[in-house]
């Protein structure tokens, strides 16, 4: 059974930093791209970032480009999201998600999410 | 950026009735298209990928159709557990984009 467990969320002041982690199990982690998707309070889903299976390719939403960095450690089956220069509009539940089959970036499996609150 | 527009925003349906949800892409996404169900406090759930392929474990009452720019999710006979928010998503091009969601509520 695929499991994705996010951690690292919390309360941070504007301009601060936070690192999210997502520990994966139940599949061959090194074969799949991994993603972060967020949902701000009262809003819809927003794709944030993707890292390919090898880690050499990364993609970002314009809203986080230059502030967030996605990375992975295939030896630890973990994907990370380093978030800097946080703003109030980054407040959201952040979900980790695994890509689908055939290198198609739909989100086949999701974690339960971790809440990030950016507030003074 | 490919903009995904869902309609209606809210759909009021009685249990047992049919629900039809629509999603339009601002440019062709071929069949690189997915639908998700999201309930409060839960992780989103993949329903449909490739525009029309049901994900593992998704009941047959859910069906997806369309290609290019127009897509439809049909729930043939709504069950109580189907009341939720549904999102569409394109994965044809970067950035990946979601629609704004359709809330299916009890009439």
As a residue count, chain A comes to 120
Tokens 């309609």 correspond to B7
Residues 6+ apart with CB under 8 A from B21: B6, B7, B11, B35, B72, B73, B74, B75, B86, B102, B104
- The predicted-structure confidence for B88-106, as pLDDT tens digits, reads as follows 999 999 999 999 999 999 9
- Which chain A residues are Cβ-neighbours of B55 within 8 angstroms? 108
A81 forms bridges with which residues in the sheet?
A: A20, A70
CB spacing of A100 vs B46 below 8 angstroms: yes
Tokens of B16: 């047992």
Residue B15: how many other CB atoms lie within 10 Å:
12
Predicted pLDDT at B32 = 96
- The predicted-structure confidence for B73-92, as pLDDT tens digits, reads as follows 999 999 999 999 999 999 99
Q: How far is it, in rounded angstroms, from Cα A8 to Cα A78?
A: 13
Interface residues from chain A to B (CB-CB < 8 Å): 37, 44-47, 50, 59-62, 95, 100, 104-113
CB spacing of B43 vs A113 below 8 angstroms: yes
CB spacing of B97 vs A47 below 8 angstroms: yes
Which residue in A has a C-alpha nearest to residue B46's C-alpha? Answer: A108
CB spacing of A106 vs B46 below 8 angstroms: yes
DSSP states of B10-31: EEEE-TTS-EEEEEEESS--TT
pLDDT along chain A (120 residues), means of 10: 97 98 98 97 98 96 98 98 98 97 90 97
């Amino acid at each position: 059974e695929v499991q994705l467990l996010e951690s690292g969320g919390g309360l941070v002041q504007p301009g601060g930093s936070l690192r999210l982690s997502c520990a994966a199990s139940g599949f061959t982690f090194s074969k799949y791209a991994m993603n972060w998707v967020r949902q701000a309070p009262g809003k819809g889903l927003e794709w944030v970032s993707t890292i390919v299976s090898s880690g050499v390719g990364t993609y970002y939403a314009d809203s986080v480009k230059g502030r967030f960095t996605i990375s992975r450690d295939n030896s630890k089956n973990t994907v990370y999201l380093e978030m800097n220069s946080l703003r109030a509009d980054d407040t959201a539940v952040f979900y980790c998600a695994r890509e689908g089959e055939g290198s198609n970036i739909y989100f086949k499996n999701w974690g339960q999410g971790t809440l990030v609150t950016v507030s003074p | 950026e490919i903009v995904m527009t869902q309609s209606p925003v809210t759909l009021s349906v009685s249990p047992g009735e049919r629900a039809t949800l629509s999603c339009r892409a601002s440019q062709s996404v071929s069949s690189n298209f997915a639908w998700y169900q999201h309930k409060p406090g839960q992780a989103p759930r993949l329903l449909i990928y490739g525009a029309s392929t049901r994900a593992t474990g998704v009941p047959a009452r859910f069906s997806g159709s369309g290609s290019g720019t127009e897509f439809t999710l049909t729930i043939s006979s709504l069950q109580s557990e189907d009341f939720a928010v549904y999102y569409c998503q394109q994965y044809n091009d970067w950035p990946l984009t979601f629609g704004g969601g359709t809330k299916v509520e009890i009439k």
